[in-house]
Amino acid sequence: MPATTLLTGISELVTNEPATVAGHDPGGAGAIGAEVTGADRLGLVADAAVLIDGTRIGWVGPAGQAPAADRRIDLGGRAVLPGFVDSHSHLVFAGDRAAEFAARMTGQAYAAGGIRTTVAATRAATDAMLRANLDRLRREALASGTTTIECKSGYGLTVADEARSVRLAAELTEEVTYLGAHVVPAEYADDPAGYVDLVCGEMLTACAPHARWIDVFCERGAFDPDATRQILRAGVGAGLVPRLHANQLGPGPGVQIAVEFGAASADHCTHLSDADVAALADSGTVATLLPGAEFSTRSPYPDARRLLAAGATVALATDCNPGSSYTTSMPLCIALAVREMRMSPAEAVWSATAGGAAALRRTDVGALNSGSRADLIVLDAPSYLHLAYRPGVALVRQAYRDGVETNKAATSSLTAS
Ligand SMILES: [Zn+2]
């Protein structure tokens, strides 16, 4: 590819950078309408152009002001957005749980213990099988516009199997989360404290070199508050940054512990007290909502409006996993957030891009401005609105990652840099 490529013919550009867009006037005409829809957060530019300079964005703005470039590509009146940032997924696993899903759809409740089914299949799988499954899911995610993905361990639950999981995840992404504390494995059913010691000790030592984050499934049936704190403390001591599965299945202390530890994100946030909402709003901890989980378990959705009204930063992610949310599709999550959680289309798109970046404490992705990574998607539609307006339709025509164009047939890696 030439050193610089100018994308033109962009009907609508989502930058997520209102302040940097030339001519933007936050207090000017249209601001009241923008406040109602949240569109002011998206830094929209009509009839726009984007300059890709190697792996980075060199310039964004109105097409009429575009700089010269080595090559020009006319996108023919399509919308361009930052690539989706999926800040919560569990992709290192084997097997599926389609039968469990079918049973749940005919009336069975979801319980955390279902994780153990996948643990048995994952332990029995070869590295090659796990790698092939990861690669399949990575391609699937990229085809629907995900250019940054976080990936957790948590289906190994032995020192060797967790270390293998984070090592394989690190082949996929730099956003690797050690989740040895996903569930207490069957062999420790009579000694959960012994398992927590393992997670904080030998398992952590084996996993920390391959991970950036530490996570705990803080939930009834998984890990209680004392164990959660013990594990997070150990992870921080090993140089990992906390994020937490919190308040998914019922009210509980997860969100408060996440805020107490300065976690980057509290994920799920389905059952929150007023104090939980206030704690999130007053902290740097992002509330990551995972509507694919509620959809796939036929459960009540989190109250996104309550979080947004309080001023919390909200991210959307897939929670892709074989038990409770087997989707890699951020467009599906956007559509669910709009239809089922009453987020505006603009709020949902912001949360799926800039919100996800905030949940991963990243400033180089989730927005399109001069200097950010050239991670962007082209929709087969004139506006970002179509992501929620046309649910279930494969609207992502192309993705650029690090300035390299991909498409559904392409094989370039999510780890390429
Ligand atoms: Zn999860």
CA distances from 183 to 20, 153, 208, 217, 326 (A): 45, 11, 19, 7, 18
CATH number for the domain spanning 55: value is 2.30.40.10
In a domain, 413, yes or no: no
> Does 385 fall in a domain?
yes
Please check whether residues 269 and 160 belong to one and the same domain.
Answer: yes
* 95 three-state secondary structure: coil
Residue in the block written with tokens 């070869």:
126
User: Is 180 a member of any domain?
Assistant: yes
Domain membership flag for residue 245: yes
Q: DSSP string covering 326-341, please?
A: ----HHHHHHHHHHTT
Confirm whether 416 is domain-assigned.
Answer: no
> 247 CA distance to ligand 1 centroid (A)?
12
Count the neighbouring beta carbons within 10 Å of the beta carbon of residue 28.
Answer: 9
- 338 and 370 fall within a common domain: no
Residue 82 class from Cβ within 10 Å (0-12 exposed, 13-18 middle, 19+ buried)? buried
C-alpha 318 to ligand 1 mean position (Å)? 9
Ligand 1 centroid–CA 319 distance in Å is 5
Both tokens assigned to 386: 């179509």
Mean pLDDT, the chain, rounded, equals 92
At residue 391, the pLDDT reads 96
Distance of CA 366 from the midpoint of ligand 1 (Å): 21
Ligand 1 centroid, distance to 376 Cα (angstroms): 25
Are 254 and 243 in contact by the 8 Å Cβ rule? The answer is no
Q: In terms of domains, do 129 and 233 share one?
A: yes
What pLDDT score does 221 carry? Answer: 86
Q: Supply the pLDDT for residue 1.
A: 54
Ligand 1 center to residue 79 CA distance, Å?
Answer: 31
Could you tell me if 77 and 181 lie in one domain?
no
Q: Is residue 322 part of a domain?
A: yes
- Ligand 1 centroid – CA 55 distance (Å): 31
Q: 376-379 and 396-401 as β-strands: parallel, antiparallel, unpaired?
A: antiparallel
CA-based nearest residue to 54, from 353, 409, 401: 401
For ligand 1, the distance from its centroid to the CA atom of residue 303, given in whole angstroms, is: 18
In angstroms, what is the span from residue 108 Cα to ligand 1's centroid? Answer: 20
Distance 409 CA to ligand 1 centre (A): 28
Q: Are residues 304 and 195 in the same domain?
A: yes
- Per the domain annotation, does 417 fall within a domain? no
Return the DSSP state at 300: P
- Can you tell me whether residue 302 is helix, strand or coil? coil
Q: Is the dihedral of CA 395, 397, 401, 403 positive or negative?
A: negative
Residues 75 and 94 in one domain: no
- Residues near ligand 1 ion, CB 5 Å cutoff: 319
Quick one: 241 and 183 in the same domain? yes
Å from CA of 290 to ligand 1 middle? 8
Rounded to an integer, what distance in angstroms lies between the CA atom of residue 85 and that of residue 102?
29
The pLDDT of residue 22 = 46
pLDDT of residue 290: 98
The C-alpha atoms of residue 354 and residue 87 are separated, in whole angstroms, by: 11
Mark whether 227 and 198 lie in a shared domain.
yes
The tokens describing 355, both together, are: 């919100």
What's the 292 CA to ligand 1 centre distance in angstroms?
11
What spacing in Å lies between the alpha carbon of 90 and ligand 1's midpoint? 6
Same domain, residue pair 267 and 306: yes
Task: Give the C-alpha distances (Å, rounded to integers) separating 145 from 64, 224, 260, 391, 405.
Answer: 28, 36, 34, 15, 12
Give CA–CA dist 257/271, Å, rounded.
Answer: 15
99 CA distance to ligand 1 middle (Å): 20
> Could you read off the pLDDT of 92-122 as tens digits, one per residue?
999 999 988 998 899 877 665 578 889 999 9
Residue 147 CA, ligand 1 centroid: distance in Å:
19
Task: Identify whether residues 16 and 99 lie together within a single domain.
Answer: no
193: domain CATH number is 3.20.20.140
Per the listing, tokens 């919100």 go with 355
pLDDT of residue 31: 45
Distance from the CA of 75 to the center of ligand 1, in angstroms? 36
Kindly calculate the radius of gyration of the chain based on its CA atoms and give it in whole angstroms: 21
- Residue found by looking up tokens 């996104």 in the block: 304
User: How many structural domains does the chain have?
Assistant: 2
Residue 261 lies in a domain: yes
Which stretches of the chain score pLDDT less than 70? 1-2, 19-36, 110-113, 407-417
Whether residues 90 and 18 fall in one domain:
no
- Tell me the CA distances in angstroms from 30 to 24, 25, 92, 259, one per residue in order: 11, 9, 46, 36
The rounded Å distance from CA 68 to ligand 1 centre is 45
Q: Give me the domain span that covers residue 154.
A: 85-359
Q: What is the pLDDT at residue 93? A: 98
Strand order in the sheet with 396-401: 56-62, 45-53, 4-13, 71-82, 376-379, 396-401, 404-406
Residue 352 tokens, joined: 């799926």
